[in-house]
Every structure is written in C-alpha cells, then in structure tokens.
C-alpha cells in the first residue's frame, strides 16, 4: 500500500523527496536514521511518539491452480500435507510477523524475509501462506482459505522522534501518510467482501 500512497503524496508535493527503506529491521529514530518509521508493533522505549495508523487483516491463501492440484484443506490440521510459504524463522525481526507460529505451523519449506517474494511464491503455486488481505486485489489468482478458522489482525504504527512534534512539515507529511494508508487499506480490504 505504501507505493501508491507515496506516489500520490509526491504528485501533490513535487518538492518533497521520499525515500522508502524497506529493510526488515528497526530504525533508531533517536540517532536520526530516519525521519519517521512505519512499524507493525509499537515501541515501548525511547523518546518517541507512536500513533496507530490502522488495523489490517491477514488470511491463509493459495493459488487456485495449487488448490485444484492438492489435497483439500478443510481444517487447520490439513495444512500438514501442504507446502507452506512464509518468513525465514531466524530472520523474523518482530514477533508480530511470526504469523505461522501463531497458527501452529512449524516447518516453512519455501521461505523469504520479503513479503513480496512470499506473495509471488504463492501466486506461482508454491503452496499455502499468510497473506495481507490488502494485497489480494493485486493477486487475483489467490484464494483465501479457512477464513472462518484462521484470521489474523495486525496494525501499522507511525513512529517519530518526540522532538519532531514541532516540525510542521514533518507533522503534515505524517498526517497525510497515515490518512493515505488508512484509506488505501480500507479500500483494498473492502474489495474482498
């Protein structure tokens, strides 16, 4: 959701330079490694301001072709006979991203630290994995499964250094970015209902 939101912000503010650093790590805002960060958990230490942007949903999904060629999945225990796509367990830097452990899956035969790579593995019939609902409109061949049994909710948080509250330009950017993300997630998730 971030690229489309940032593209609109850039069009409205042509003098604004936006650099998106998509690394699986925590940035130290106190050392000014970034002006702001969007995270999946709220930090509990440091001189930071944290604002919840929005909740988002995740479900298990797989490609239609994969599901047609594989054993039927009716219950969570049926996942044991399927190839699972997910994060590399040793590279999960935030407990909120440990989706598969949350649903009781221990082995991840197709793994990446990139959610984009995971999505593409699923799109190409690699197996079953947890997918952000807001990503599904961009992957129309993926089908959500076990939606009545496995549904995860997570949140995005805007994180800034406490001293930046008086920076009106940065505050406006943070507000615009938060509003855009809320709107985009709501719009994309609404297309699934």
Report pLDDT for 27: 62
Identical fold between 2-54+154-190 and 56-151: yes
Q: What is the CATH number of domain 2-54+154-190?
A: 3.40.190.10
pLDDT tens by residue, 39-76: 888 887 778 888 999 999 999 999 999 999 999 999 99
**Residue 163 in tokens:** 């001293």
pLDDT confidence of residue 92? 78
Distance CA 70, CA 81 (A): 9
Please give the pLDDT value at position 42. Answer: 84
Q: pLDDT 10s per residue in the chain (193 long)? A: 888 898 999 998 888 888 787 765 566 666 667 788 888 888 877 788 889 999 999 999 999 999 999 999 999 999 999 999 999 888 877 788 888 887 888 889 999 988 999 999 999 999 999 999 999 999 999 999 999 999 999 999 998 888 888 888 888 889 999 999 999 999 999 988 6
Domain ranges across the chain: 2-54+154-190, 56-151
pLDDT score of 23: 64
pLDDT of 166? 84
Contact between 152 and 55 under an 8 Å Cβ cutoff? The reply is no
Tokens of 148: 């009545």
Tokens 């998509």 identify what position?
22
Centre a 10 Å sphere on the Cβ of residue 121 and count the other Cβ atoms it contains.
20
Which long-range CB contacts under 8 A does 174-179 form with residues at least 24 apart? 174/36, 174/51, 176/9, 176/12, 177/5, 177/6, 177/9, 177/36, 177/38, 178/51, 178/53
Strands 84-86 and 128-132: parallel
- Which token pair is 90? 């040793």
Query: Which two structure tokens, joined as six digits, stand for 130?
Result: 């947890």
Q: Is 77 exposed, middle or buried (0-12, 13-18, 19+ CB in 10 A)?
A: exposed
pLDDT at residue 24, as a whole number: 58
What CA–CA distance (Å, rounded) separates 135 from 36? 23
Q: How many whole angstroms separate alpha carbon 33 and alpha carbon 97?
A: 22
For 56-151, the fitting CATH number among 1.10.150.120, 3.30.1490.20, 3.40.190.10, 3.50.50.60 is 3.40.190.10
pLDDT for the residue 26: 60
């Amino acid at each position: 959701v971030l690229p489309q939101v940032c593209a609109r912000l850039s069009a409205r503010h042509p003098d604004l330079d936006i650099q998106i650093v998509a690394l699986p790590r925590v940035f130290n805002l106190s050392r000014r490694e970034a002006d702001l960060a969007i995270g999946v958990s709220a930090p509990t230490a440091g001189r930071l301001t944290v604002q919840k942007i929005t909740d988002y949903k995740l479900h298990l999904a797989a490609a239609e072709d994969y599901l047609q060629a594989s054993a039927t999945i009716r219950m969570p225990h049926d996942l044991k006979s399927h190839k699972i796509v997910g994060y590399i367990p040793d590279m999960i830097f935030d407990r909120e991203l440990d989706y598969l452990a949350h649903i009781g899956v221990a082995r991840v035969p197709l793994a990446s630290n990139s959610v984009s790579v995971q999505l593409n593995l699923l799109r190409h019939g690699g197996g079953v994995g947890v997918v952000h609902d807001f990503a599904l409109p961009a992957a129309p061949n993926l089908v959500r499964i076990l939606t009545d049994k496995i549904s995860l909710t997570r949140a995005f948080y805007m994180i800034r250094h406490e001293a930046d509250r008086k920076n009106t330009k940065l505050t406006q950017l943070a507000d615009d970015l938060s509003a855009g993300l809320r709107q985009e997630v709501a719009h994309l998730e609404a297309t699934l209902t």
